[in-house]
Amino acid sequence: MGLPIFNILILFLLLKFSHNVTSDSSEEAYALLKWKTSLQNQNLNSSLLSSWTLYPANATKISPCSWFGISCNHAGSRVISINLSTLGLNGTFDDFSFSSFPHLANLNLSFNFFFGNIPLQIGNLSKLQYLDLGSNQLSGLIPPEIGKLNQLRRLYLDMNQLHGTIPLEIGQLSLIDKLALCHNNLHGSIPSSLGNLSNLTNFYLNNNSLFDSIPLALGNLKSLSIMDLSKNHFNGSTPFSLGNLSNLAVLYLHKNSLSGSIPSIIGKLKSLLQLDLSENQLSGSIPLSLGNLSSLTMMSLFNNSLSGSIPPSLGNLKSLSALGLHINQLNGFIPPSIGNLSSLRILYLYNNGLYSFVPKEIGYLKSLSELELCTNLLSGVIPHSIGNLTGLLLLSMCGNHFSGPIPKSFRNLTSVERVLLNQNNLSGKMFEAFGDHPNLTFLDLSNNNFCGEISFNWRNFPKLSTFIVFVNNISGSIPPDIGNSPKLQVLDLSSNHIVGKIPVQLEMLSSLNKLILNLNQLSGGVPLEFGSLTKLEYLDLSANKLSSSIPKSIGNLLKLHYLNLSNNQLSHKIPTEFEKLIHLSELDLSHNILQEEIPPQVCNMESLEKLNLSHNNLSDFIPRCSEEMRSLSCIDISYNELQGPIPNSTAFKDGLMEGNKGLCGNFEALPSCDAFTSHKQTLKKKWVVIVFAILGMVVLLTGLTGFFFFFQQRKKVSQEEQSNSMNRLRLLSVLNFDGKIMHEEIIKATDDFDEKFCIGKGGQGSVYKAELPSGDIVAVKKFNSQLVSGNMADHDEFLNEVLALKEIRHRNIVKFHGFCSNGPHSFLVCEYLDRGSLARILGDDVTAKELGWNRRINVSKGVANALSYLHHDCLPSIIHRDISSKNVLLDSNFEAHVSDFGIAKFVGPHSSNWTEFAGTFGYAASEIAYTMRATEKYDVYSFGVLVFEVIKGNHPRDFFSINFSSFSNMIIDVNQILDPRLLTPSPSVMDKLIWIMEAAILCLDESPEA
C-alpha cells in the first residue's frame, strides 16, 4: 500500500515542477510580447520580430527561447540573454517588465531609438552581468538602482542624452570590468566610490560636462586598462595616484582644464601604449621619467604651457609613432637622441621657443612622414641628412632663422607633397635643390633671400597647385614653360626683381584662381590671353611698369573678386566690359594715366565694395547710376578731372574727392551744386541775347523757347507729382492694393501698431498681424524707429529687403504686397502665414508632432526650391545670408516660405564677394569668419544645418563633430538624429530621410567648393 502512495507523491511533484516551468516560460514570453506591442515601428521590424508569437496556440508550453534575439539556459526554462542591438527599434522601457527576468545575464539594446528614462525597476535584474543601452536617445538621470546589480561586469550608457551626476551607488558594482558613460550630459564630479570597482578594465567618461578634480580614489582601479576622461571640465592637478595603475594601456585626459605639472610617477606605467594630455593648462617641464614608457606608441602633450627643454630620455621610446609637443613654451635644442625613434611617423614641435640647429640625427627617422618645426628660433643650415627622409609627405620649417642654401639632398624627397620653408634667411639659388618631385602640391619659399632666375623644369612638378616665392631677390623673367603646370592654382611671385613681359603662356594655367605678380619690374601690356583664365578669382599686377590699355578680355574673368592694376602706366579708357565682373568686390586702377569718362557700365558691378580710381586723367561726370550700387562702401576718385554733382550715397559722402576742381555737392569741402547751376544759367541767358542780336529770329526763337519750356514744364510737373507721391507715403502699390488706402487701413487695423497685434520681434523691428476691411490678412513688418530718424545702416537693410522682395515671385518665398518709408512708420506688407515660423513649430511638442515626417521632407524641399530660385533664376542672383528656422514660415498646408531678406546680397551663382559677417550664429559657415566672402555656398551651408534641425527637431549644435565614415552606416548614426517625438518612419520614408541627410552632410563640407 505504501508504494502506490509514494508513486502518487512523485507524480504530484513532477507535475507541479512542470507547471512551474511552463508558467515561468509563459510569463517571460507574455512580458516580451507586451513590450513588443508598445514599440512604435512594428512594420519596420516585422520580419525580424516575426518569430515573437504565441503560435502554435494549442502548445502545452509557451517558450520564447527560439525567438529572434532571445537566448535561454541549458534547461530551456529561463531567458538569460536579450540582444536586439542595431535593429532601429523605437519606444520606451515603460512596458518592459524587468521583474519577469530574474535570470537575465545579458541585455543589449544598443544602437536603436529608445527614448525616455531608464526605469528604477532595472535594479530587479539581480543576475545581470552585461548591460548595453548605448547609442539611443535616452534622457533623464542615471538611476542609482543600477548599484543593486551586484553581478554586473560591463555597463554601456554612452551616446545618449542622459544628464545629472554619476550615482554613488555605481561604486557598489564590485564585479564590473567595463564602464562607459561617455557622450552624455553628465555633470558634477566623479564620486570617489568609483574607486571601489576593483575589477574595472575599461572606464569611459569622455564627452560629458564633468568638473572638479579627478579623485585620488581612481588610483585604486588596479585592473584598469583604458581610462578616457577627455573632453570634460576637470580642473586641478593630475592625481599622482594614477601611477598605481600598472595595467593601464590607454590614458586620455585631453581637452580639460587640468593644471600643474605632469606627475613624474606616470613614468612607472610600463604597460602604457597611448598618452594624451593635450589641450589643458599643464605647466612645468616634461618629466624625464616619461622616457621609461618603452611600450608607448603615441604621446600627445600639445597646447599646454609646458616649458624647459625636451628630455633626451624621450629617445628611449623606440615604439613611438606619433609625438606632439607643439604649441607650448619649450626651449633649448632638439636633442640628438630623437634620432633613435626609429618607428616615428609624425613629429610636431612647432610653435615653441626651440633654438640652435636641427641635429643631423633627424635624418635617421626613416619612417617619418610629417615633420613640423615652424615658428621656433631654430637657426643654422638645414641638415643634409634631411634628404634621407624619403617617405616624407610634409616638411614644414617656416618662421625660423635658417640660413644658407637648401641642401641638394632635397632632390631625394620624391614623396614629399607639401613644403613650407618661408620666413627664414635662406639664400642661394633656390631652384638648384629641386629635382623630380612628382607628388609635390604645395611649395612656399617666401620671405627669404633666394636669388637667381626661375629655372624649374616644370614638367617635374605635375601636381604642383601652389607656388609662393614672394619677398625674395629673384631676377630674370617669368619662364614661358611655366605653362606646363596644368594643376597650378596659386602663383605668387610678388616683391621680387622680375623683369620682362608677362608670358602669354600663362593662359595654359587653366586651373589658376590666384595670380599675384605685384611689386616687380614687369613691362609691356597685360596679355589679351588672360581672358581665358576663367577660374581666376584674385589678380594683382600692381606696382610694375605695365603700359598700353587694359584689355577688354579681362571682362571674361567672371569669377574675379579682386582686381588690382594700380601703380602702372596703363592708358586709354576703362573698358566697358568690366560690367560683366558682377562678383568683383575690390577694384583698384589708381596711379595710372587712364582717360575719358567713368563708363556707366561700372554700375552693373553690383558686388563692388571698394573702388579706387584716384590719380588718373578721368574726366566728365560721375555716372548717376552709381547711387544704385548698394554694396559700395569705400571709394577714392581723387586727383582726376571729374566734374558735376557727387552721387547721393554714403560711399561717396565718405569717399576721397580732392584734386577734382569741377565736383560739387552737399558735402563738406565741396561747393554747392546750386552755385554751379546759377552760373550756368547766367551763361545761358547771355548766349540767348547774343543769338537774338545776331540772328534776329525773335519769333522762331520764341517758338522754340516756348516749345522747350512746354516740355520742361511737363517734366517738372511729372517730377513734382512723383516726388509728392513718394514724399507723402513712398508706398509701392502691388497686386490689387491701393497704396494710400492700404497705408491707412494698416494703421487702423493694428490700432497704430498696438502691442496686442504684435506676433513677433527681431533685431530690425516687430511683425504685426493686420486684418484689412477686404478680409485680407497681412503680416506687417514695422522697422525700428531709428530707421526713420536717419540711421543709414537700417535704412539700407529696409531698402535692400524691398528691392529683393519686389523682384521675387516664387511659391516658397513669402509674397510681397507693399511698403512705406516715410512719416512716423516704415514697414513692409507681406502675406500672412498662419502657422508661423518653423522655429516656433519645432519648439512646441504639440505642433512638432503635427509636422510629421512627410511634411518635414516637404519643408526641406520647399526651402531647397526657394534657394535654387534665388541663386539660379534671379538676375542678379540673390544670396539670402540668414537661412534659419526663424526665417522659414509655414502656411496652413505646412508649405515652407522663406522670409526676411534684410541682409540679402545681390550677386549670383559661384560668386566670391567680400562681406562682413552676417546671419545667425549656428547657421553660418565657419569660413565666413576668416574669408569674409559671401557666395551662394553661404546659403548652402545654412540649408544643411536647417535640414538636420528639421529632422532632429532642434538645432543640431555639436552634432557636426560626428564623423560619418560612410553613408552606408547612416542607419546607425541616424539613431542620434530622428526627432523622438515622432513615430519611427516607414522604410520608404526612412530612405528619403537618409537621402536628404546625405545631401545635408555634403552641404556641411568644410570646403565651400565641395
Q: Does the pTM exceed 0.85? A: no
742 pLDDT above the threshold of 80: no
Question: Which one is predicted more confidently, 950 or 921?
Answer: 950
Residues forming the active site: 882
Q: How much is the pLDDT for 297?
A: 95
Q: How many residues does the chain have?
A: 1010
**Closest alpha carbon to 384 in 348, 357, 420, 415:** 357
CATH number for the segment(s) 729-831: 3.30.200.20
What's the confidence (pLDDT) of residue 44? 47
The residue with greater pLDDT, 330 or 880, is 330
Question: In sequence order, which ranges of 63-184 are alpha helices (DSSP H)?
Answer: none
User: In the predicted model, is pLDDT for residue 299 greater than 60?
Assistant: yes
Residue 336: is the preceding peptide bond cis (ω within 30°)? no
Give 958's pLDDT tier (boundaries 50, 70, 90): low
Model pLDDT for residues 261-291, shown as the tens digit of each residue = 999 999 999 999 999 999 999 999 999 999 9
**pLDDT band (50, 70, 90) for residue 11:** very low
| Alpha-carbon span 29 to 508, nearest angstrom | 75
Tell me what the mean pLDDT of segment 101-125 comes to: 91
Q: Mapped to the 3 state alphabet, what secondary structure does 429-491 carry?
A: EHHHHCCCCCCCCEEECCCCEEEEECCCCHHHCCCCCEEECCCCEEECCCCHHHHHCCCCCEE
Count of Cβ atoms closer than 10 Å to residue 917 Cβ: 12
The whole-angstrom separation of Cα 334 and Cα 355 is 8
- The whole-number pLDDT of residue 697 equals 54
Looking at the chain, the whole-number percentage of residues with pLDDT higher than 90 is 50
Query: How would you list the strands of the sheet with 449-453, edge to edge?
Result: 355-356, 377-380, 401-404, 425-429, 449-453, 473-475
Cβ contact 268:295 at 8 Å: no
Rounded CA gap, 349 and 353, in Å? 10
* DSSP-assigned letter for residue 873: I
Per-residue pLDDT at 920: 73
| Stretch(es) of the chain classified as CATH 1.10.510.10 | 836-1003
Nearest in space to 446 (alpha carbons), one of 468, 475, 426: 468
Where along the chain do the CATH 3.30.200.20 domains lie?
729-831
Fold of 2-234: 3.80.10
pLDDT class of 59 with cuts at 50, 70, 90 = low
Is the pLDDT at 680 greater than 90? The verdict is: no
pLDDT (0 to 100) of residue 57: 53
Give SS3 for 569.
strand
What is the pLDDT confidence band of residue 968, given thresholds at 50, 70 and 90? very low
Task: Give the residue-averaged pLDDT of 521-534.
Answer: 93
Cα(181)–Cα(300) distance, rounded to whole angstroms? 24
| Average pLDDT rounded to a whole number, residues 638-657 | 87
Residue 542 has pLDDT above 60, yes or no: yes
Q: What are phi and psi of 212, to 5 degrees?
A: 70, -175
Distance CA 576, CA 598 (A): 9
Composition of the chain by helix, strand, coil, percent to 5: 30, 20, 45
Average pLDDT of the segment spanning 894-909: 75
| DSSP state, residue 871 | I
Q: In this predicted model, what pLDDT tens digit does every residue of 833-878 receive, in sequence order?
A: 889 899 989 989 889 999 999 999 999 999 999 999 888 878 778 8
CA 89 centroid distance within chain: 32
pLDDT value of residue 244? 94
Does residue 548 carry a pLDDT above 80?
yes
From 3.30.390.50, 2.40.110.10, 3.40.50.300, 1.10.510.10, which CATH number describes the 836-1003 domain? 1.10.510.10
Confidence bin at 690 (pLDDT 50/70/90): very low
Query: Does residue 651 surpass a pLDDT of 80?
Result: yes
C-alpha cell at 867: 534657394
Q: Cell triple for residue 234? A: 576637470
Which contiguous run of DSSP H or E holds residue 889? strand 888-890
Q: What local confidence, expressed as pLDDT, does residue 215 receive? A: 93
Task: Tell me which H or E stretch contains 381.
Answer: none
The yes-or-no verdict on residue 787 having pLDDT over 70 is no
pLDDT greater at residue 670 or residue 889: 889
Q: Are 448 and 420 in contact (CB under 8 A)?
A: no
Contact 95, 114 (CB under 8 A): no
**Average per-residue pLDDT for the chain:** 83
d(Cα 139, Cα 137) in Å, to the nearest integer?
A: 6
Distance, CA of 206 to CA of 935 (rounded, Å): 38
